Structure 1
Amino acid sequence: MENLKFTIEDREIAELLGRQNFSTKESAVFELIKNSYDAGSETCNIYIDDHYIKIIDTGKGMNHEDFKTNWMHVGKSNKGYKDEINNRIFTGSKGVGRFALARLGNHVKVLSKKNTENAIIWKTDWITSGFEETNVDFDQGTYIEILDLRDKWRSKDINELIEFLNRAYKSKEMEVFVHFKDNEPHSIQSKFQNLKIGVNYVTKILLNYNSTNKKLTVKTESDEFKSEITEIVKPLFATYYKEDFSMEDELKISSEIEDIDFYLTDLGNFSAEFYFGLEKQPKETAKKFMYKYNGLSDLNKGIVLYRNDFSISSFDGKKDWLDIASRARKSPAAASHLTGSWRVRLNQMSGFVMIDKKRNANLKDMANRQGLEEDEFYQVFIEIIQFGISRFEKNRQSIIRKIVEKNNIENPNEYEDKKKLKEFLKQPTTITKMSKQEIVSLATEIKEIQQEAKERSKVFKESELKHKYDVRILNVLATQGLRASAVAHELQNKRNALSSGYQDVVNALVEYGFWEKLNSDEYTRVSYMNVPKTLENLEEINVKLIAFLDVILNKIEKKKFNSKVESIESAVKRIIDIWKQQYIWIDFEIIVRNEIQREYKFTDDVFEVILDNLILNSIQHNEMKDKLLIKIIVEIIGESVSINYSDNGVGLHRKYNNDPKRILEVHETTRSDGHGLGMWIVDNTAHMYGGKVIDINGENGFNIQLTMKG
């Protein structure tokens, strides 16, 4: 059989692997910088003028054999993982980077010389190519000249190139200089060098993923708040945070990836470094939240993905590849929101993620080199990073919430009475008799009112956003409830058939003389043909359907939202009696202490929302238990109502051991079919009535303590 090889025209190769493969002229220049780096050069000088681009390095150069067997062999790379001589990890591997030249110009000349060997010159117009020995005036390195440029290069383009390279190139091992016409050369410096806390950012977030034990270490170093913050939180908590998380536990439920253990192991170790900062805030806001710095410079650099100090194309900081903006839109709660989850905004975060060519080989380049293949490894990679960011968000929000709580306690009546203003409004003519000092005092009071009005307006807008966020979630649940109630009303008309259907069928079979025969061994041996057993199962389902009807139709009665609770003990017992009818495998113990007969501030539905969600949570996590004990202790202390709820079930999942209150976050769940809203609703309801969740413990069964003002 005759051996054949594909023959491809040079012009077509240049078109496919040059012009179409490099989407921007900046990325093409960047690719040629990589070649200089891989050659071991200490410097790379880029000269750009109206009619040419020159790239000069002092690397090891190429000889006759290199040009013939490597340079002219498309798709072949002589680069392994690391250059053992200079300890640099090679950036190239596919053998197509040289076609970046075709993206930049129609005519190219390459002069290259290895130390002590003859220099070689290679020329091409992308139709024909050739090389020969020549003489050069340098000892070692490569000189590239590109003519008949495809793009115009103006000052604006040079600035964009420099900005791009500052983001895309992070190494200090090779100096890169950009020369434009007769201007002074510009040295490329990584955007992430020499950043200072309090100048460029207020918090640094460090992530380190270890694929061996599948753990993510999250660490933050912060100087966001004034020293007075130590009156509210522990000094170390405000400035430093570190915790390890099992990604196996965290992602097994939330991720859509099957066999996630495999991907977590084979993904490989990687790290990330992010910088958080705030834009300039109104003085009152900065004071209110105890911000140490008000406004930072030059923070918005994007998040860059580096593979060994070189950014991956389309991950150079311009693209929101971590979906920071999308996360914020889905959860728009402010950091001061008492129950909603705050998400960092796109303009508040910059930084980089570091992966390795060998260690993270499963994060593969796309065929056109314009990004990464978005396969399962990539998805798990993104999910790990997003989880790490969420831990910073939660930690910061917990501090902000403590500040809000302190402000509310210290300033129950936020604004003092304005004496001079009251006097003036009562009798305006008194202004003519006021002294200069009194008029100044009056003007000050008016200015304070104006400032208060601005602050109130801002608080109102924040409150509006908070409620919009809550309503969005609750609307979904309400809609589901209305759909369920519509079905319940339809089934209510069939209630008699549901309650008596089983007995009616049995009576009919007895009367026809079939029942005794159907109960014989012959007809009950095969389970799916066992008529009596099938009827019993249907009867059990009918009983549950009737209970469902009672629950649904009872929950949406209008009077429940209007009638105030007069007896907590009676309200709790009414709720529990319904659950007892449905779940005979649950025992309830109810204790109500210090209650006196009075009308409380909340209505029947409030207790139902809290207890129903807690009981449902216990049932769903303990369905395999034969017997479950639920204990509810309600204690009235002055105006406060304290609820202690506990069960003897399996308790909390191990991932909540260090932070049990995490279960209160929106959509936090360990069940694959769960929505993660039940405990959030409990927490939200407590806050609506001036209370909060005091404590959660999940070691010996599940235990939660919360308060409300009644």
Structure 2
Amino acid sequence: MENLKFTIEDREIAELLGRQNFSTKESAVFELLKNSYDAGSAVCNIYVEDNCIKIIDSGKGMNDEDIKNNWMHIGKSNKGYKDESSNRIYTGSKGVGRLALARLGNRVRVLSKKKNENAIVWETDWVTSGFEKIKVDFDEGTSIEIVDLRDKWRSKDIDNLVEFLNRAYKSEEMNVFVHFRDAKPYTIQSKFKDLKIGINYVTKILLNYDSTSMKLTVTTESDEFKPEVTEIVGPSFARYYKENFNMEDELKNSSKIEDIDFYLTELGNFSAEFYFGLEKQLNETAEKFMYKYNGLSGLNKGIALYRNDFSISSLDGKKDWLDIASRARKSTAAATHPTGSWRVRLNQISGYVLIDKEINAHLKDMANRQGLEEDEFYQVFTEIIHFGISRFEKNRQKIIRNIDARNHVEKSNENKKKLKEFLTQPTTVTKMSKQEIVSLAAEIKDIQREAKQQSKVYKESELKHKYDVRILNVLATQGLRASAIAHELQNKRNALSSGYQDVVNALVEFGFWEELNSEEYTRVSYMNVPKTLENLEEINVKLIAFLDVILNKIEKKKFNTKVDSIESVIKRIIDIWKQQYNWINFEISVDDEIQREYKFSDDVFEVILDNLILNSIQHNELKDKLLIEITVKIVDDLISLKYSDNGVGLHRKYNNDPKRILEVHETTRSDGHGLGMWIVDNTAHMYGGKVIDINGENGFNIQLTMKG
């Protein structure tokens, strides 16, 4: 068979791999800058004229062999991982970057010289190409001249080019200058160079991922709040925070990717550096939340993705490739929200993610060079980054919540006192001095501002509650479907409870029972009739227990009556669980002082205890015996409920932050929904309380409060 090779016209190559492969003229210039870097040049000068672009470097240059064997061989690259002489990691690998020339102009002239060799000149109009040897007056380097430009270059285009290169080029190994007309040359310098806390940003978030151990290290350096904030948030507040997370534990059940450990280990090490800042706030707001600086968000240049020191095309920070805005839209809660999760906004964060050409080889450029292939490796990559950002969000929200809680108590007490004095004797206003009247007016304005702020909080709460209601509606619908089936089965209750004995009695009466129990008929398990009937009887018992639970839970009176005796309610709940799980022991202790009638109904304790008990059962199914202790007492006029078991405790990923289990959809079970503990937390908040403490080192322990 005769060997054949495809032949593609030069003009078509230039069109497909040049004009269509580089979406913008800035990205095409950037690609040629990368060639200068790979050539080892110390300087790259870019000259833009009315109808000509020149790119001149002092790199290694090319000879005639390089032109014939490499330059003219599209799709072939002689670049490995690193240039050993300059120690630079090569940016190119696909052998198509030179066609960026076609994106910029219709005619090109390349003049290049290797040290101690003849210079060559190569020219093309993208129909015909050729080269010859010539003499030049420089030792080595390359000069590219592009004419008959495809785009107009005006002052604003140069500004866009400089801005793009400042975002896209991070290295300091090659100086880059852009010249335009008679203006002073622009020096290209990374936007992330020489940044300082308190000047360019208030918090730095560092992520370092180690694929060998699947460990993500999250470090934050913050100077957002005044030093006095430690009086409110306690000694746990610090400018510096560092914590390690096992990403297999964190993503195993939340990620949609199967075999997550494979992708986590094969992904390779990478790092990220983010900068957080807030836009200017009202002075009252800045003072209220103890911000040390007011308005440090000028760094907002997006998040860039660098492969070594060069951004990946279209991921230079202009595009929201990490979906920061989408994350924020899905969780609109303010940082002060008591249960909702605050998410950083797109205009509040900037920075970069750094990957390596060889170490992160699985993160592949798209064929059109406009980003990365969004495959399983990419998904795991972004999930790790999102998790790292969420740790910063959670820590910051904790501080804001504590400050807000303190402010709310102080302001409420102060306003009540001043209003009471004024309303008790309003006529005293006529005897006030001008300064006292101004002070009173300021107090009333503060109350109005507080009311507006509360209105805003209520609106944010409403958005959060809409999501809460959606989840609860799904659960309620499932419950109603279950109750409908339960009512149908209730009509068959007699058959369920006596069915086994009725069949056995019939078989005895007909004379088959003794024979069916013989060794001959019980040898094969699936033909063992007595054993099959026993299994069915066991299922029937569980079905009857299920009917009792479902029909008992939806009785209307449970939602209408008040609790007369907390102890009797708890005992009634426990008795139902004992009927179903005889391997669980309960110990309860209810304070004798709890005598009065309480305003919430039976279902409140059922919701909390049923979820806690079910959680204990599901995480301790392999234990022969389980002890659950429930203690209820009055603490500071609040009902305090302590619940503990002697089971396996919390998963190791919650060791440093046990309250993470309260977040919606947080679970370590592959078949779990992560709603149980979220419901417990929501119920406590609904009744004016909160979860005080969670500990999972010696069994599972939780303490929460509610107002009676």
TM-score under structure 1 normalisation? 0.94
**2-structure distance, mates of 1:332, 1:511:** 70
Partner of 1:645: 643
1:366 Cα deviation after fit: 2.0
For the pair 1:113 / 2:102, whether they are aligned, the reply is no
Letter in 1 for 2:279: E
Letter in 1 for 2:686: M
The number of equivalent residue pairs is 707
Aligned partner of 1:684 among 671, 682, 685: 682
**2-structure distance, mates of 1:638, 1:183:** 73
Kindly report which structure 2 residues correspond to 1:255-654, keeping only aligned pairs within 5 A, or say none. 255-413=255-413, 415-416=415-416, 417-418=418-419, 422=423, 436=434, 440-441=438-439, 443-637=441-635, 639-654=637-652
User: 8 Å contact 1:341–1:666 — kept in the other structure?
Assistant: no
**1-structure distance, mates of 2:703, 2:420:** 44
For the pair 1:124 / 2:117, whether they are aligned, the reply is no
**2-structure distance, mates of 1:13, 1:161:** 25
Partner of 1:87: 87
**2-structure distance, mates of 1:154, 1:485:** 72
1:469 Cα deviation after fit: 4.2
Greater CA drift, 302-311 or 454-463:
454-463
**1-structure distance, mates of 2:693, 2:448:** 41
User: 8 Å contact 2:333–2:461 — kept in the other structure?
Assistant: no
Q: Give 3-state SS (helix, strand or coil) of 2:392's partner.
A: helix
1:106 Cα deviation after fit: 1.4
For the pair 1:697 / 2:690, whether they are aligned, the reply is no
**1-structure distance, mates of 2:323, 2:68:** 45
**2-structure distance, mates of 1:687, 1:423:** 34
Q: Give 3-state SS (helix, strand or coil) of 1:386's partner.
A: helix
User: 8 Å contact 2:640–2:706 — kept in the other structure?
Assistant: yes
**1-structure distance, mates of 2:237, 2:56:** 51
User: 8 Å contact 2:646–2:700 — kept in the other structure?
Assistant: yes
Partner of 1:104: 104
Letter in 2 for 1:181: R
1:478 Cα deviation after fit: 2.6
Q: Give 3-state SS (helix, strand or coil) of 1:360's partner.
A: coil
1:269 Cα deviation after fit: 1.2
Distance 1:244 1:442, change over 3 A: closer
For the pair 1:62 / 2:74, whether they are aligned, the reply is no
Residues 428-477 of structure 1: CA deviation (Å, up to 9, x unaligned): xx86x876556545544554444344333333333334433433433333
Greater CA drift, 588-597 or 26-35:
588-597
Q: Give 3-state SS (helix, strand or coil) of 1:253's partner.
A: coil
**2-structure distance, mates of 1:426, 1:549:** 68
User: 8 Å contact 2:57–2:143 — kept in the other structure?
Assistant: yes
Letter in 2 for 1:455: Q
**1-structure distance, mates of 2:381, 2:113:** 42
For the pair 1:241 / 2:241, whether they are aligned, the reply is yes
Greater CA drift, 226-235 or 505-514:
505-514
User: 8 Å contact 1:499–1:543 — kept in the other structure?
Assistant: yes
Letter in 2 for 1:218: V
**1-structure distance, mates of 2:437, 2:290:** 33
Q: Give 3-state SS (helix, strand or coil) of 2:623's partner.
A: coil
Distance 1:351 1:418, change over 3 A: same
**2-structure distance, mates of 1:439, 1:596:** 48
Distance 1:374 1:596, change over 3 A: closer
Residues 312-337 of structure 1: CA deviation (Å, up to 9, x unaligned): 11221122222222222333322222
1:100 Cα deviation after fit: 0.8
Listed as ranges, the gaps of 5+ residues in structure 2 are: none
Distance 1:643 1:297, change over 3 A: closer
Q: Give 3-state SS (helix, strand or coil) of 1:528's partner.
A: helix
**2-structure distance, mates of 1:474, 1:644:** 25
Of all paired residues, the percent bearing the same amino acid is: 82
Kindly report which structure 2 residues correspond to 1:29-48, keeping only aligned pairs within 5 A, or say none. 29-48=29-48
Distance 1:690 1:40, change over 3 A: same
Partner of 1:670: 668
**1-structure distance, mates of 2:697, 2:543:** 35
Letter in 2 for 1:706: L
Q: Give 3-state SS (helix, strand or coil) of 1:547's partner.
A: helix
Letter in 1 for 2:360: N
Greater CA drift, 470-479 or 278-287:
470-479
Distance 1:285 1:549, change over 3 A: farther
Q: Give 3-state SS (helix, strand or coil) of 2:358's partner.
A: coil
Letter in 1 for 2:645: D
Aligned partner of 2:705 among 704, 707, 710: 707
Q: Give 3-state SS (helix, strand or coil) of 2:633's partner.
A: strand
Listed as ranges, the gaps of 5+ residues in structure 1 are: none
**1-structure distance, mates of 2:211, 2:348:** 29
Letter in 2 for 1:324: I
User: 8 Å contact 1:46–1:177 — kept in the other structure?
Assistant: yes
**1-structure distance, mates of 2:171, 2:530:** 77
User: 8 Å contact 2:277–2:297 — kept in the other structure?
Assistant: no
Greater CA drift, 620-629 or 331-340:
331-340
**1-structure distance, mates of 2:95, 2:75:** 4
**2-structure distance, mates of 1:438, 1:627:** 70
Residues 522-572 of structure 1: CA deviation (Å, up to 9, x unaligned): 222222222222222222222222222222222222322221111110010
TM-score under structure 2 normalisation? 0.95
Partner of 1:160: 160
Q: Give 3-state SS (helix, strand or coil) of 1:27's partner.
A: helix
Q: Give 3-state SS (helix, strand or coil) of 1:254's partner.
A: coil
Distance 1:492 1:199, change over 3 A: farther
Distance 1:550 1:80, change over 3 A: same
Distance 1:436 1:291, change over 3 A: closer
User: 8 Å contact 2:559–2:603 — kept in the other structure?
Assistant: yes
**2-structure distance, mates of 1:512, 1:153:** 101
Letter in 1 for 2:649: G
User: 8 Å contact 1:229–1:238 — kept in the other structure?
Assistant: no
Q: Give 3-state SS (helix, strand or coil) of 2:627's partner.
A: strand
Q: Give 3-state SS (helix, strand or coil) of 2:237's partner.
A: helix
Q: Give 3-state SS (helix, strand or coil) of 2:605's partner.
A: helix
**1-structure distance, mates of 2:500, 2:322:** 57
**2-structure distance, mates of 1:489, 1:159:** 73
Q: Give 3-state SS (helix, strand or coil) of 1:589's partner.
A: strand
Letter in 2 for 1:240: Y
**2-structure distance, mates of 1:450, 1:262:** 57
User: 8 Å contact 2:277–2:296 — kept in the other structure?
Assistant: yes
User: 8 Å contact 1:661–1:696 — kept in the other structure?
Assistant: yes
Letter in 2 for 1:307: R
Q: Give 3-state SS (helix, strand or coil) of 1:413's partner.
A: helix
Distance 1:626 1:419, change over 3 A: closer
Residues 81-114 of structure 1: CA deviation (Å, up to 9, x unaligned): 1111111111001111101111111111111111
Letter in 2 for 1:296: L
**2-structure distance, mates of 1:490, 1:422:** 62
